[in-house]
Structures are given as structure tokens and as C-alpha cells.
A and B are shown apart, each in its own frame.
Chain A
């Protein structure tokens, strides 16, 4: 006669096999419900899906044709490449520093003299997240962050907007001919940027 231990083991194994193979039916009655909370608010009805869906990045955009999304990084919240060999890049960044400091960092990268506050105020403006932002358009020799050597015939398009503690920037760089061909894509990308409803966990 098998020992109680063997019997137990056998019973457990059989019962386990039978029970784990069970799956819920394809059609089920909803049996659970709850009373309405006393503080339950009247729901907002017929809200378009796009207006009700937050994004983990807190913003959403329309990807221009030919652009490829690259992984976000600590300093690039939205990061894209374009061009035959991906030599053009564009990214959205939430950074620190004033508008002037960011503009002049870009000027330095393009071997241009720094701007004054008056010259900054005179820069053209484009809207980003429905807020006016300073727009910079430079062509020349580019010494980007981490670049091995200065690159000639480059072009930089940049938008800067200081917002509270954070400065929002969109920067596009690449060979001048490529950037010229992508200027409309830059504008459409910036115009498509939308803040989404906030959420937190």
C-alpha cells in the first residue's frame, strides 16, 4: 500500500494538473458591481479619444515622412533621425538655463558670435506647444556635442522657450542641403507637438 506521503503527492499532482488546465469560458456573465460613490462626478461624455489619452512622454507628435524615431535619452525626450544615412537629426529636449544661454551654446557650436539680450529679443518666433519660442537658423561649421571634428556646410534650426524651471528646445542639425529639404518637415513636426493630459502613478 502506498505511504500517505506518496498518496498526498499523487493527489496534489493530479489535482494541480486538472485545475491549471482549466480556462475561463468564451462568454461570461458580469456578476460583480459596486454602488456609485457618493463623490462620483458626472462623467465627461463624448470626449474625443485623442483628448482623453495622456502620453507617457506628456507630449505627442506626428512623425514626418522619412523620419525615424530613435530611443529617447536623458536629454532627448523625443529623438529622430532622417536623411539617406541618418545624418540629419532632430530632437525635443527639456533642459536648463535661460533662452540666451541655450541660443549662445548653439551659436558657439556653429562658430558664431554670441547674441545679446536685444538680439535675442529680435529673433523670429515660432510656436511650440502653443507658446512663442525664439527661432535660430544658422549655417556654417558645426562642432556638436561629442563631434570628432568640426563639420563644414552644416545647418542648425533651433527653437527655445523658457517655461518655469525648464527650457524647452527643439534642435535640428545636418548637412545644409538636407536640412533645407527638411525645413517644412521641421515646421510640421513642431506644429504637431501637443501636450497630453497629465497622469501619474
Chain B
């Protein structure tokens, strides 16, 4: 008796190979989950930033929540670490790039979506370019005055320059010492400097007060009869007047203390033991335009019986490469040249004993932003993409509807016919 053949056991289902690390990383970065988390954090930051503006200046809120990689949010006694909007938008960029551009099915039906996704990437890139490369400041001119230097609204630096030399001016950015309150110090050195600069007692908003006029708090350094009196930060960040104490020390030499206040009208002079002369000044960072502007005439009118400005405009002469061009700058008519835009921003007609009325001047906001027009292009792109997408969806809906009508029409007719032959109830 022969044995019946035993069928082989069924093969175990073949296990799918585990995706590579690169594939898993890509899937993770392209996932909706990452997108949702990032957008949730952005929503949270927007809410926190809005709430914070109750008692913090817009600029400070922007720096803390939106121009940052990370931040610490104080909730009662707790300090909760949060990702800053810059980090979140970087992740969002990668997320949309991976999910909305690379992974998305590409055919004529998704072309509108791809264009819309690309416009968002472009908008995020515009923000990044603006963050890193935008320069913004103001240029103040009296009538008849020519200028080309514009000064930042917010960025401050300690500048150290050697007198009588053409070498570069060394700069210590405010964000490198803005944490030096409560007795903290930090030293700065450079090969070109024969001394070290130790900074301390930073005050974001301060008054350089005379000790004889207002007594300083105990422990406050007094330099030549003056000290930095900390004030509450102004609600308008550009109104803050920052100050810091600098201690200069040569190797083996004596120390010299200097009070650096950003509105000082002359720098601190420091003479080294080998006869070199340096100046130190704490000031708003300044840049030079590649052309000059001369204010010929400033026109200023107020609404009758009020202090509200009605018209203010500046007739200027732009001089570039020996060519003079008269231009009128008004509220919504800026001067654009060589990538720079000069807006009519403000003017001064305040009187103080130290500033007679004849010193009225015009102030121009100067902006250089390589991505200035990118948001416009991104918006146009988004509009094109969305229009395509919605047009296609509309066309699909119309087609589907008419097809449904076409397929349902014979049965409707049959039903109608059947209804007409049945006996009446």
C-alpha cells in the first residue's frame, strides 16, 4: 500500500523587507503628522506672541517667538522650552518639500496642488532670505544736508576702531552681551587689539544719570560721575536706549572703565601704553548706501486746527556716479534705487532748549531686502495653483454630474413609463 503523498506545509507569508533608514526618514519628514505638529506649534506661538504684546514691544515679541530657533516660555515658576518659529518653519519647509513636491503623485490633476505647495515653499524661503539678509534702518537729513549712512532701528554694536589707521572697525553685537545683567561679565579679544574688553552691567533701556543728580543704587559702577540707571523697557523697542559698562585692560597694564551709552555724542578714547589710540562707541549699527541723497526741501502740513499731519514729503536729489536726479519722496511713493528703498517715514518738529525749531529734519526708512518682491510672486503662484485646482475640481464635478444625469435618464424614463401603466391607486 503506497502512502499518499503528503502535501508540503504552506509556505509562511513572505515578510516585506524593512524599508531603509533613508526611506523611513523621508516618509517621516513627508508625513502629515509632522505637518500637523509643526502647524500646531505655530498656532501656539502665534497665540503666545499675541498675548505677550500686552506688556512687551512688538519687536521683542517677534525676536522671542518668531525670529528664534528655541525659546523658554515662563508659565508661573516653570520655564517651558519651546521650538521657535524659525525652527518650525524650517521643518515645515522640509515637510512640504518632501510631501507636497517630491512624494505627491504628479499628473495633470495635481499640477495646481504642486504649484500651490511650491508657492508656500517660496514664501518660506522669502522669509528666510529676509531674516538673514534684510537691512533696515533710517536716514535723518536736515534741509540742505547730504547723507548716505543709514542706521538700524534695533541692531546695536560696540564698535572699536584704531584712530589714524584705515583698518576695519571691530564690532561686538549686542546679542553677544545682552545677557550681562546682574553682575555677569564677558571678555572680548581680537588679534588686532592690544587690550581686552570686558563688558558688564548691560541695560536694555537706560539713562546715563549724573550721580550728583540722582544717587545710584549700591554696587552700581560710577564712571566720571555718571552711571547707567536701568529703566523699564519701552513699549516701542526702538525707543530703548541701551548702555553697557566696558573695562579695558592691557596685559600687565592698568584697567580703565568706560560707560558706553548708545546716544553718547562722542566715543570713549582709549590710549594704550605703546601710544596707540582707540575709540569705543556703543551705537546702532549703520550701513552705507552706494549713492548719496540730499534733502532739498521738506514739506510739512497739518490738518487745520490739529496736530495731525496732512502731507509730509521730501524733495531730494539722488546722486549716483556723478549723475544727479531730483526725486520727490512721499508717504506712499518711495525712492527705489540699486536694491534700496527709501520711504518717507517721519520728521521732527519738537522743541527742546537744546534743539531749536530750526533743526527740523526729515527721516527716511531705508530697506534693502533681496526677497522684497518674493511674497508678491508667491501669492501670484498660489493664486494660479489654486485657480487651476479649483477649476479642475469644478470641471470634474460638472462632468460627473452630467454623466450621472445621462446614465440615470433611461431608467428614469423607464420608471416614468412603468408608473404611467400601473393602475391608479
Residues on A close to B: CB < 8 A? 3-5, 7-9, 12-13, 15-17, 19-20, 23-30, 32-39, 42-56, 58-63, 69, 94, 129, 163-166, 168, 195-201
Closest Cβ–Cβ distance, residue B257 to chain A (whole Å)? 11
Q: Say which size band chain B's interface belongs to.
A: 35 or more
Of the candidates B71, B185, B269, which one forms a contact with A45 in the assembled complex, judged by CB atoms under 8 Å apart?
Answer: B269
B238 contacts across to A, CB distance below 8 A: 201
**Measured between alpha carbons, how far is A24 from B171 in the docked complex, in Å?**
17
Report the 7 A-B pairs with minimum CB-CB distance, sorted nearest first.
A47-B266, A33-B168, A5-B33, A16-B81, A52-B266, A198-B355, A30-B190
* Interface flags, B162-199, vs A, CB<8A=1, else 0: 01001011111100100100000111111001000000
Closest Cβ–Cβ distance, residue A38 to chain B (whole Å)? 7
The answer to whether B353 and A44 touch across the interface, beta carbons within 8 angstroms, is: no
Which of A15, A43, A49: most chain B Cβ within 10 A?
A49
Which of B37, B140, B148: most chain A Cβ within 10 A?
B37
**Measured between alpha carbons, how far is A55 from B231 in the docked complex, in Å?**
13
The answer to whether B83 and A16 touch across the interface, beta carbons within 8 angstroms, is: yes
Which of B72, B171, B269, B354: most chain A Cβ within 10 A?
B354
**Measured between alpha carbons, how far is A29 from B239 in the docked complex, in Å?**
30
CB nearest to A131 among chain B residues: B353
The answer to whether B188 and A54 touch across the interface, beta carbons within 8 angstroms, is: no
Flag whether B226 is at the interface (Cβ < 8 A).
yes
Flag whether B263 is at the interface (Cβ < 8 A).
yes
Residues on B close to A: CB < 8 A? 27-28, 31, 33-34, 36-37, 41, 69-72, 81-83, 87, 140, 147-149, 157, 160-161, 163, 166, 168-173, 176, 179, 185-190, 193, 207-208, 210, 212-214, 223-226, 238-239, 241, 259, 261, 263-269, 277, 279, 281, 286, 288, 348, 350-357, 359
The answer to whether A39 and B148 touch across the interface, beta carbons within 8 angstroms, is: yes
Of the candidates B172, B265, B354, which one forms a contact with A52 in the assembled complex, judged by CB atoms under 8 Å apart?
Answer: B265
**Measured between alpha carbons, how far is A50 from B214 in the docked complex, in Å?**
15
The answer to whether B226 and A197 touch across the interface, beta carbons within 8 angstroms, is: no
Asked if A166 meets B351 with Cβ closer than 8 Å, knowing A45-B163, A51-B266, the reply is yes
Closest Cβ–Cβ distance, residue B282 to chain A (whole Å)? 12
Closest Cβ–Cβ distance, residue B83 to chain A (whole Å)? 5
CB nearest to B208 among chain A residues: A53
The answer to whether B269 and A46 touch across the interface, beta carbons within 8 angstroms, is: yes
A-B contact pairs, 17 of them (CB 8 A): A3-B33, A5-B36, A7-B28, A15-B70, A16-B70, A16-B83, A24-B186, A27-B186, A28-B189, A30-B171, A42-B163, A43-B163, A49-B225, A53-B259, A58-B354, A197-B354, A200-B348
B351 contacts across to A, CB distance below 8 A: 164-166
**Measured between alpha carbons, how far is A100 from B189 in the docked complex, in Å?**
61
The answer to whether A28 and B353 touch across the interface, beta carbons within 8 angstroms, is: no
The answer to whether A8 and B266 touch across the interface, beta carbons within 8 angstroms, is: no
Of the candidates A13, A43, A48, A200, which one forms a contact with B81 in the assembled complex, judged by CB atoms under 8 Å apart?
Answer: A13
The answer to whether A47 and B269 touch across the interface, beta carbons within 8 angstroms, is: yes
Closest Cβ–Cβ distance, residue A71 to chain B (whole Å)? 12
Asked if A30 meets B188 with Cβ closer than 8 Å, knowing A63-B213, A195-B354, A198-B352, the reply is yes
The answer to whether B225 and A53 touch across the interface, beta carbons within 8 angstroms, is: no
Closest Cβ–Cβ distance, residue A149 to chain B (whole Å)? 34
CB nearest to B187 among chain A residues: A27
Closest Cβ–Cβ distance, residue A52 to chain B (whole Å)? 4
Having A26-B187, A32-B173, A42-B163, one finds 16 other A-B pairs with CB under 8 Å, namely: A4-B34, A5-B33, A23-B179, A36-B161, A36-B169, A39-B149, A44-B267, A50-B210, A52-B265, A54-B265, A55-B208, A58-B353, A195-B353, A195-B354, A197-B354, A198-B352
